[in-house]
Amino acid sequence: MDERVREHASVLVDWSTQIESGDDVVLSVGPDAHELAVAVAEKLGERGANLLATYDSNELQRAYLRAHDGEFEGSAEHELALYEEADVVLSIGGQRNTAAKADVPGETRQAYRKANAAMREAKYDTRWMSTVHPTRSLAQQAGMAYEEYQDFAYDAILRDWKSLAEEMSRMKDLLDDGSEVRVVKDGTDLTMRIDGRTAVNSAASVTYDSHNLPSGEVFTAPYATAGTVLFDVPMTINGEAVRDVRLEFEDGEVVSHEASQGEGVLTDILETDAGARRLGELGIGMNRGIDRFTNSILFDEKMGDTIHLAVGRAYDACLPEGETGNDSAVHVDMITDMSEDSWLEVDGEVVQRNGRFRWEAGFEG
């Protein structure tokens, strides 16, 4: 076994989910994630945690969803009971074909997601964490050779997370103290309110309310969005290529949308429910271990010198205690490159220009 697989498992179990003896762990395993799952199982045994492995196959889901009449009756009781009793849900993605659900009708997907809201809530109440095992399908999606992709993925995953968390706390402080964010570049001039919201220092650990590995972003839950934004980074959403999404916002809501490719997928998402037309997240990518776009949102959105916005659900961690943010069955991230001819303002002050933060050498305010 590649030693990096064991290191990945160590980060997941110790830094990310902080698993201890007696923890009830659900380990969700993609069909091509077997090797990492074995390494995690070993760590869970060492810690004396309890292990139940679930099988996360998009081919199974496709077969099930396509055969179903679409009348879903809410979360299944057995699945709900599993997540309600779980302490940790650790998802290791790894599909053989990232497009395996491409022919599932959008309305069936949406109906299934909507029906499973209670199950998702129960999962989000655990110390949940999502990662991927570097697979050949992800390498292909990135347009990279397999071993090249492994090097890329482990550079992003096996970072000095403690040190990155310290750097990211600077950005969190700026957002926590600020009231309005403005993003400006060619095709984009967007303002969002962030006062009253708390930014998350997403350092790939549940202690930071961070639930992705790799992570390396600071995010918050904006509102009252106005203006226009162009997402110029290529994406794959629900297995389909989506390019050059342009959204126009008025009073916090998307009032027009277009894309040069995959506009149908975008329309399906925006029509899921009312919350799907409002922003749930503004994220600022700060993981410079990620040095290129690989057509995978988990990596792309964390890349240094990018920002992303998500339509749909907001994370509770960004909201004042007891307050409900934007609610939706979806949460779909879209990315824009901030490395050139672009800047980010907080309350009228430039905090990032052309990919340099204000605390970095070479920053021009």
Contact residues for its own copies, defined by CB under 8 A: 22, 24, 26-27, 29, 31, 34, 37-39, 41-46, 48, 50-57, 59-61, 63-69, 71, 73, 76-87
Minimal distance, residue 31 CB to its own copies, in Å: 6
Three-class secondary structure of residue 320 per DSSP: coil
Give yes or no for a contact between 139 and 220, defined as CB atoms under 8 angstroms apart.
no
Contacts within 8 Å (CB) and 24+ apart, 245-254: 245/334, 246/187, 247/311, 249/190, 249/225, 249/279, 250/226, 251/224, 251/226, 252/223, 252/224, 252/225, 252/226, 252/278, 252/279, 253/225, 253/277, 253/278, 254/278, 254/311
* Token pair belonging to 60: 């199974």
Minimal distance, residue 86 CB to its own copies, in Å: 4
Cα angle 270, 340, 192 (rounded to 5 degrees) comes to 40
Give yes or no for a contact between 185 and 336, defined as CB atoms under 8 angstroms apart.
yes
> Which one, 78 or 160, has the nearer CB to its own copies?
78
Minimal distance, residue 322 CB to its own copies, in Å: 28
- For residue 287, which of 300, 278, 274, 275 has the smallest C-alpha distance? 300
Minimal distance, residue 121 CB to its own copies, in Å: 16
> Which one, 22 or 187, has the nearer CB to its own copies?
22
> Which one, 11 or 254, has the nearer CB to its own copies?
11
> Which one, 23 or 333, has the nearer CB to its own copies?
23
Give yes or no for a contact between 35 and 150, defined as CB atoms under 8 angstroms apart.
no
> Which one, 60 or 274, has the nearer CB to its own copies?
60
> Which one, 116 or 210, has the nearer CB to its own copies?
116
Orientation of helix 34-47 relative to helix 3-10, angle to 10°: 50
Minimal distance, residue 207 CB to its own copies, in Å: 22
Question: Which strand (E) or helix (H) includes residue 138?
Answer: helix 136-142
Minimal distance, residue 260 CB to its own copies, in Å: 34
Minimal distance, residue 104 CB to its own copies, in Å: 11
> Which one, 84 or 240, has the nearer CB to its own copies?
84
